[in-house]
Amino acid sequence: MMPEIYSKYPMVKYLRKEALPTALCPGCGGGTVLNAFANAIDQLKLDPRDLVVVSGIGCSAWIASPYFLADTLHTTHGRAIAFATGVKVGLPDKKVVVISGDGDLASIGGNHLLHAARRNIDITVILVNNFIYGMTGGQVAPTTPFGAKTTTTPYRNIEHPLQISETIAAAGASYVARWTTAHVYQLIESIKKALQVKGFSLVEVISQCPVQFGRRNKMKEPAEMLRWFLKNSVPISKAKKMSPEELEGKFVIGEFVNRQRPEFVSELNKLIDEVQEHFGLKEV
Amino acid sequence: MIIRGDEPEQIRLLRKLYKPGNYFMQGNEAVAYGALFAGCRFYAGYPITPSSEIAETMARELPKLGGYYLQMEDEIGSIAAMVGASWTGFKVMTATAGPGFSLMQENLGYAVMTETPLVLVDVQRSGPSTGQATKGAQGDFFQARWGTHGDHPIVAVSPTSGQDAFWEIIRAFNIAERLRTPVVFLFDGVLAHTRELVKIPDVDEVEITYRKLPQNEEEAKLPFGDPHGDGVPPMPLFGHGYFTHVTGSTHKENGLRDVYTPEVHDRLVRRLHRKIEKNRHVYEKYEEHFTDDAEILVVSWGVTARPALGAALKAREEGIKVGLFVPKTVHPFPGERMKELGKRVRAILVPEMNLGQMILEVQRFVNDDVLLKGVNKIGGVPLTVEEILREIRGVA
Ligand SMILES: Cc1ncc(C[n+]2csc(CCOP(=O)(O)OP(=O)(O)O)c2C)c(N)n1
Ligand code: SF4
């Protein structure tokens, strides 16, 4: 049952108490993301009955599923967005949120991420980018920085990381923002915006995994990782004036896009109306 | 959508759109129309020969009925979207062929573990791999049974004609709903593309089943319990404020993950098996022809059951006492009946469009003193009446 400490935490009302304490390591950025998400829901006064949270497999997938008290669908590795697509079609009036890791959503699930953005389906994706596969023990991810050490790049990573936010902005999403766990207030604001945008929204959160990433890259304390984020973050407005060489190893933060485009499920429903009208199937 | 309460409107639409009567149509179309009559209002898929006409028919017809067609980015996404939609209350279907079926296996296992009703049509084609993409086969008998990982039960239905496909797909939906489980529909490229007479009935002649919903908060809190003792938990749909947690990991009756306690895993997986075993009456189905006095038995399934029937009729004309046994639900195999029939005959022939798959199930239920022989043909061309008759004469 719920240890005493949780009763002091105002957001506890949003958590599935029988699932606590969380399985996340002490100092993991996942806690910050859960906190930011709960605060965003609280500030928007959203009823958790109007939420469905979907996640894949990985430490980050656990952040809201099972811990968030809503309908939660904990799916197979990489497929959360595809599951969420079916949920959204069935429940167009609910907020459908996907929270999962960079390995889950951008590696094995990269295709679903890209195509959900292209369709512009009204789901909110909170992608926790910790540069590593935490749950499976610290292997290289498609986001691992060039030159970093992981258990499967013991000498150094020779691959270039995927710039997720930039890619998904280009793919057609309605809203894309990136922050780090050191930018909590901005993160909450972006989650709130993402939840209100009608269309596909992505909030990428650069998050610390001191246990699997930090430890192997000379930052074994969570605070060291947060300082690293702060020191290397560049606001997007400033980044636009910088050269690729200057941006190497930096984290571009801020809002990438915020625009209106026809949304998938409403277009689908519009189409059904038109077809029924055309064939004279509407009840008169 | 066909969720309780929408029936009058849906019946009005079905009646207006599809007049009862005889139609000349492809097997694939018969599957699609059957699904629409069964209440399927959500289809997610990815095109593949020889299944594509199912997708095309659904894309054309579903919007008329207020239903949803989604073409996903691949098969993995398709079955994932179906599971998501099923948890919102839709009756859902996809259609694919061997290579796509292989891709769907992971989330088919997820659907078994999370007890999500769905219907997966596999229009079997010649393999392995891309094989003869446009040719029919019966090579996925065991892919349906053992394709996904773990220790799972499965229900698979296989029709023998276009007309049969219309009714059997409805039955597949009813089984899926009644048992809260995925059902595999093993069709094949030959029947899929054969045009023949299919009689569309009046909506009233079609009986449809709905999944059990929780009767009260208590039941809703145990989405994986067994309050009625039949192994089938009521399904608390998303969006009703139940705060349901669904996971493919081993879970307790309340849905929460527990992958460490052996008893929890044992209890869950045994119930999944028990649910299928105990409810045999819901899905078991087979056809018999002249089995009363048969000395030789032909056991066949799907497309091959047709030339097998032709061969049995001809052999009877020649005075050979042949019977025909056709399992319509092929998994779980109707073993009890097979055992009884096996005791009464001296030879059993098993024609199929593969190098011997269902014959292994038959073998499990018959004694060694029965002569058991496969009649196998691959290459994409169905077995003929003559080819099967020749084998019957050979053992007569
Ligand atoms: C199909 C499949 N392949 C591999 C795995 C093993 N696996 C579990 S979690 C994971 C990576 C998770 O990484 P990420 O999404 O970045 O999450 P993190 O644990 O770092 O938060 C992998 C590869 C799996 N569960 N399923
Ligand atoms: S391994 Fe890393 S990502 Fe996973 S819980 Fe621990 S710190 Fe967090």
Q: Which residue of A has its CA nearest to B44?
A: A86
For residue B3, the model assigns a pLDDT of 56
B252 phi-psi bin (left φ>0, alpha ψ -120 to 50, beta other): beta
User: Same domain for B275 and B291?
Assistant: no
Instruction: With beta carbons under 8 A apart, name residues in chain A contacting B106.
Output: 76
b/e for A76-102, b at 16 or more Cβ within 10 A? bbbbbbbbbbbbbbbbbebbbbbbbbb
So what's the pLDDT on residue B267?
98
Q: What does the DSSP assignment read for A150-170?
A: BTTBSS---SPPP-HHHHHHH
Q: B239 touching A, CB under 8 A?
A: yes
Q: How many residues does chain B have?
A: 396
Predicted local distance difference test score (pLDDT) of residue A5? 61
Domain boundary among B148, B170, B205: B205
Using H for helix, E for strand and C for coil, what is the string for A41-55? HHHHCCCHHHEEEEE
- Using the 8-state DSSP alphabet, how is residue B304 labeled? G
Token readout for B197 is 């007479």
Q: How far apart are CA A149 and CA A162, in angstroms?
A: 17
Q: Where does a domain end: B183, B205, B227? A: B205
A267: distance to nearest CA of chain B, Å? 11
Q: Which residues line ligand 2 (CB under 6 A)?
A: A 24-25, 28, 30, 59, 130, 134-135, 209-212
Q: Rounded to 5 degrees, what are φ and ψ at A113?
A: -60, -50
Q: Indicate if B234 and B357 belong to the same structural domain.
A: no
Please check whether residues B53 and B138 belong to one and the same domain.
yes
Say if the Cβ atoms of A19 and B256 lie within 8 Å.
Answer: yes
B385 and B260 housed in the same domain = no
**Whether residue B232 sits in one domain with residue B123:** no
Residue B142 lies in a domain: yes
Q: What is the CATH number of the domain that holds B325?
A: 3.40.50.920
**Same domain as B174, residue B83:** yes
Asked if the structure places residue B2 within a domain, the reply is: no
Residues 143-172 of A with CB under 8 A from B: none
Task: Supply the pLDDT for residue A7.
Answer: 73
Note whether residue B365 is domain-resident.
yes
pLDDT of residue A3: 59
Structure tokens at A112: 């679903």
Within a domain: B124: yes
- Whether B120 maps to a domain, the answer reads yes
State how far the Cα of B237 lies from the Cα of B231, in Å rounded to an integer.
18
Q: Is B243 on the interface with A (CB under 8 A)?
A: yes
How far is ligand 1, taken at its centre, from the CA of residue A136, in Å? 6
Domain-embedded: residue B19: yes
pLDDT mean values, one per 10 residues, chain A (284 residues): 69 94 96 98 98 98 96 98 98 98 98 98 98 98 98 98 98 98 98 98 98 96 98 98 95 98 98 97 84
Number of domains in chain B: 3
Residues B33, B181, single domain; the answer is: yes
Q: Whose CA is nearest to atom 11 of ligand 1?
A: A133
The reported pLDDT for the residue numbered A8 is 82
Task: Looking at the structure, tell me whether residues B338 and B277 fall in a common domain.
Answer: no
Complex ipTM value:
0.97
CB-based contact (8 Å) between B89 and chain A? yes
Within this chain, do residues B83 and B184 fall inside the same structural domain, yes or no?
A: yes
List the structure tokens of B308. 């097998």
B210 within domain boundaries:
no
In angstroms, rounded to a whole number, what is the distance separating the alpha carbons of residues B299 and B279? 24
pLDDT of residue B1: 41
Contacts of A65 in chain B (CB under 8 A): 245, 247
Same domain, B32 and B139: yes
Distance separating alpha carbons of residues B42 and B91, to the nearest angstrom? 7
Residues B246 and B302 both lie in one domain: no
Q: Is residue B211 part of a domain?
A: no
CATH code, domain with B20: 3.40.50.970
Atom 12 of ligand 1: nearest residue by CA position:
A58
Q: Which residue spans within A75-190 are E strands per DSSP?
A: 95-101, 123-129, 132-133, 139-140, 175-180
The residue from B255, B281, B307 where one domain ends is B281
Within 8 A of A18 by CB-CB distance, chain B residues are: 254, 256
The answer to whether residues A225 and A219 touch, using CB atoms and an 8 Å cutoff, is: yes
Q: Are residues B29 and B89 in the same domain?
A: yes
**Which residues does chain B have with pLDDT short of 50?**
1
Question: Which of A99, A104, A152 has most ligand 1 atoms within 8 Å of CB, for mutation?
Answer: A104
Structural domain containing residue B97:
7-205
Q: Which residue, among B26, B8, B97, B10, has the nearest Cα to B62 in the 3D structure?
A: B10
Alpha-carbon distance of B338 to B327, in angstroms, equals: 9
Chain centroid offset of residue A5 CA: 27
